[in-house]
Amino acid sequence: MTEHLEAVVHGDVQGVGFRWFVRRTATELGVRGWVANRADGTVAVTAEGDPPALDRLVAALHEGPRGARVTRVDDRRGPASGGFQRF
């Protein structure tokens, strides 16, 4: 069973390698999707994968890479669309 995750990461998360961190972590977990910086200084993550893998990804989003300071992660889940081939 796969789920869809949408998350927005708040804090000092741009210019610190956050997107590369998310991509590497998601790939290691077998999660598919994308990550992007947003104009408001947050990072958006859309991902699909097994619920335990998404749980680990969300936990990693709360930590972030060295140099990041995550203050909040807003996330929600729903049914997977199956529209992603890779991260």
Q: Which residues have a catalytic role annotated?
A: 19, 37
The span from the first CA to the last CA of the chain, in angstroms, equals 18
Map tokens 């999660």 to a residue.
Answer: 31
How far is residue 11's CA from residue 20's CA, in Å, rounded to a whole number? 16
CA–CA–CA angle 48, 52, 54 (5° rounding): 35
